[in-house]
């Protein structure tokens, strides 16, 4: 892996980070015991002193480990630890250490995703029963290719068997009282995968961000226009269309922070018009940019957009070609039940 010694911040980078820090709420961390602080400090300094080339030689892929300064920031909770982190940051930007300047783990997008990971709330208890269902209610729309405009938002409901042993139901549009009315269809997800998970499958995924990202790359190999874009889209589907077990949500956001090419859009809006800040990745082969929009204050996920990046077939740059907003997630006892 080729790394660079950064002599000074990239043009505009300082301003972007400052603006991002202004837009987002501060991270509040609990104080750590003194012995834990010392252990973290020693671990941090040990990682800084390590020769990065030694680790890189073990694999042909770019290592996706956290930069020491960012990993440390996630657990720093006291003034003493914060001072150490600031000192390390100053040393890296001053060019006295190998920063891995090409690493995605150092930019504004990574900072935003790690704040989201820290603040994301657990959406389901670990006591979910096998005979229950995960209810997801969404509003979504696709581009009408004839009018080149986004269709009106339509309701999409799903009742997915927790362990995949029961018939699940997906319903597009219409009232929720009768899941067996048309349009709708039944599915059985007893052979789950990343592209069609059930809750028990999600519980089996690693919550270590590095191990999780490696699994995502491996299981989606050969899909999509590029491995990085397919990983980003896969994570986007999971965070927007699933109920995530404890620990998995934070791990997914941390994993996404390590995908190359992820950027921040300071002003974005979901399909209902709610404004926020977005994390995005553009795929040239698809002429598309995928965006995850978050509330600037709470960091709650508002929606997911796909946006045209190159004018073609009468579709202008900036046109939203797909949009979704997640309305509700719940654990229910039977198909057709809503929270």
Sign of CA dihedral 294, 295, 301, 307: negative
The C-alpha angle with vertex 216 and arms to 215 and 219, in degrees rounded to 5, equals: 80
Residue 311, pLDDT > 70, answer: yes
pLDDT at 65: 25
140 and 267 part of one domain: yes
**Residue 127, in any domain of the structure:** no
The verdict on 68 and 186 lying in the same domain is no
Q: Is the pTM of this model over 0.75?
A: no
Mean pLDDT of the chain: 75
| Domain match, 187 and 285 both | yes
Q: How many domains does the chain have?
A: 2
Q: Which residue has the higher pLDDT, 33 or 49?
A: 33
Whether 307 has a pLDDT exceeding 60, the answer reads yes
Place 72 in a pLDDT band, splitting at 50, 70 and 90.
Answer: very low
pLDDT at 190: 79
Same domain (yes/no): 59, 186: no
Residue 188 and residue 281 share a domain: yes
Domain shared by 234 and 274, yes or no: yes
| Domain stops at, among 106, 123, 158 | 106
pLDDT at 25: 57
- Of 63, 90, 106, the one marking the end of a domain is 106
* Four-residue CA torsion sign, 245, 248, 238, 109: positive
Q: Name which residue leads in pLDDT, 173 or 155.
A: 155
Residue 257, pLDDT above cutoff 80 = yes
- 101 and 139 co-located in one domain: no
Residue 322 has pLDDT above 90, yes or no: yes
**160: β partners:** 134
Tokens 């073990």 locate to: 58
Distance CA 305, CA 290 (A): 6
> Are 188 and 69 found together in one domain?
no
Residues 56 and 188 in one domain: no
| Residue 79, domain member (yes or no) | yes
* pLDDT higher than 60, residue 167: yes
What is the spatial distance between Cα 322 and Cα 293, in angstroms, rounded to a whole number? 13
Q: Is 207 a member of any domain?
A: yes
Answer whether residue 245 is part of any domain. Answer: yes
Containing structural domain, residue 29:
13-106
d(CA 51, CA 82): 24
For the stretch 285-302, pLDDT in tens is 889 999 999 999 999 999
Are residues 100 and 142 part of one domain? Answer: no
- pLDDT of 274 > 90? The answer is yes
pLDDT of res. 284: 84
Predicted pLDDT at 62: 26
Assign 11 a pLDDT band (cuts: 50, 70, 90).
low
| Residues 160 and 291 placed together within one structural domain of the fold | yes
Confidence (pLDDT) at 118: 87
């Amino acid at each position: 892996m080729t790394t660079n010694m950064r002599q000074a911040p990239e043009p505009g980078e300082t301003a972007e980070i400052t603006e991002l820090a202004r837009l987002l709420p501060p991270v509040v961390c609990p104080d750590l015991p003194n012995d834990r602080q010392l252990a973290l400090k020693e671990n941090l300094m040990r990682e800084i002193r390590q020769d990065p080339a030694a680790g890189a030689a073990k694999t042909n892929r770019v290592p996706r480990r956290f930069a020491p300064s960012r990993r440390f920031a996630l657990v720093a909770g006291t003034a003493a630890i914060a001072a150490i982190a600031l000192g390390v940051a100053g040393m890296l930007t001053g060019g006295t250490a190998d920063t891995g300047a090409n690493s995605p783990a150092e930019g504004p997008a990574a900072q935003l995703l790690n704040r989201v990971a820290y603040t994301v709330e657990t959406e389901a208890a670990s006591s979910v029963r096998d005979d229950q269902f995960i209810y997801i209610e969404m509003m979504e729309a696709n581009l009408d290719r004839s009018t080149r405009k986004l269709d009106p938002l339509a309701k999409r409901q799903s009742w997915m068997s927790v362990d995949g042993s029961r018939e699940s139901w997906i319903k597009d549009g219409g009232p929720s009282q009768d899941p067996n009315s048309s349009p709708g269809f039944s599915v059985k997800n007893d052979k789950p995968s990343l592209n069609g998970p059930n809750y028990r499958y999600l519980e089996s995924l690693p919550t270590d961000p590095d191990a999780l990202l490696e699994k995502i790359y491996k299981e989606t190999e050969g899909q999509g226009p590029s491995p990085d874009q397919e990983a980003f889209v896969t994570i986007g589907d999971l965070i927007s269309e699933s109920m995530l077990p404890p620990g998995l949500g934070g791990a997914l956001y941390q994993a996404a922070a390590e995908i190359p090419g992820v950027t921040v859009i300071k002003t974005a809006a979901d399909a209902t018009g709610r404004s926020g800040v977005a994390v995005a990745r553009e795929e040239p082969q698809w002429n598309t940019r995928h965006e995850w929009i978050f509330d600037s204050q709470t960091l709650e996920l508002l929606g997911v957009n796909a946006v045209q990046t190159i004018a073609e077939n009468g579709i202008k740059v900036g046109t939203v070609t797909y949009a979704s907003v997640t309305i509700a997630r719940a654990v229910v006892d039977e198909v057709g039940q809503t929270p």
